[in-house]
């Protein structure tokens, strides 16, 4: 369960300086080619992307034949982070640093990441309301990462231990994961729907009969 700020979307649309569209594309291409994605340095961010909005470069199937060209091209930024918007903007500034300039630096009126107040004003001013959105996880980035790590450990363990008998498996499991916090064994019963109860009672009765 997420105990920090809930996952929050952000959408920012900024006009590209006329004539700089190709340079922006090349910049984004370069950022995509980096080994470690720049958004990975932005705290508490689940998802983020830049998209150049330019109209369809080729006639995509299903698109109307006559489309009205945009007067300008735009850079669309969308993200989801466990942060209030103002804090997320500051995280973007300190996390992306020069990479922020490589993208938004081609947009009209962008002040640069070294101007904290200007950077904040620019992104918040160009922010669009996000009416409908979906967050994949009700958990922090850290919690998601930890869960994936745990799954990987379980997978490796399962592959490694498939030749072991039941008792050996239990021993190996406790040795490998014994330090993990195990869920309360009674919790599942407490959550059983009412329809399950007669079976449970029957089971208890049978056990009692066996005992007498």
Binding site for another protein (CB under 8 A): 57-59, 61-62, 151-152, 155-156, 158-159, 162-163
Residue 57 CB, nearest approach to another protein (Å): 7
Residue 152 CB, nearest approach to another protein (Å): 7
Closest to another protein by CB, 62 vs 129, is 62
With b for 16 or more beta-carbon neighbours within 10 A and e for fewer, the 81-95 pattern comes to bbbebeebbbbbbeb
* Beta strand 45-53 pairing with 127-128: unpaired
Q: Whole-angstrom Cα distance, residue 151 to residue 81?
A: 23
Closest to another protein by CB, 125 vs 171, is 171
Residue 172, classified by CB atoms within 10 Å of its CB into exposed (0-12), middle (13-18) or buried (19+), is middle
Residue 105 CB, nearest approach to another protein (Å): 25
- In this structure, what DSSP letter does residue 106 have? T
Residue 163 CB, nearest approach to another protein (Å): 6
Closest to another protein by CB, 31 vs 43, is 31
On whether the CB atoms of residues 44 and 76 are closer than 8 A, the answer is: no
Closest to another protein by CB, 144 vs 197, is 144
């Amino acid at each position: 369960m997420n105990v920090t700020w809930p996952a929050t979307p952000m959408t920012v649309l900024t006009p590209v300086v006329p004539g700089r569209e190709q340079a922006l594309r090349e910049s984004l291409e370069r950022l995509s080619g980096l080994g470690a994605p720049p958004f990975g340095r932005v705290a508490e961010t689940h998802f983020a992307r830049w998209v150049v909005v330019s109209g369809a470069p080729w006639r995509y199937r299903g698109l109307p034949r006559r489309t009205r060209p945009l007067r300008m091209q735009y850079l669309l930024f969308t993200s989801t982070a466990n942060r209030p918007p103002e804090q997320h903007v500051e995280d973007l500034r300190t996390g992306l640093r020069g990479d922020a300039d490589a993208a938004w630096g081609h947009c009209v009126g962008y002040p640069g990441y070294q101007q904290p107040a200007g950077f904040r004003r620019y992104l918040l001013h160009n922010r669009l309301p996000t009416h409908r959105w979906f967050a994949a996880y009700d958990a922090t980035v850290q919690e998601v990462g930890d869960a994936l790590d745990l799954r990987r450990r379980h997978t490796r363990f399962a592959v490694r231990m498939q030749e072991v008998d039941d008792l050996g498996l239990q021993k190996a499991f406790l040795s490998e994961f014994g330090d993990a916090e195990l869920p309360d064994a009674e919790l599942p019963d407490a959550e059983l729907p009412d329809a399950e109860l007669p079976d449970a009672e029957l089971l208890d009765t049978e056990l009692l009969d066996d005992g007498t």
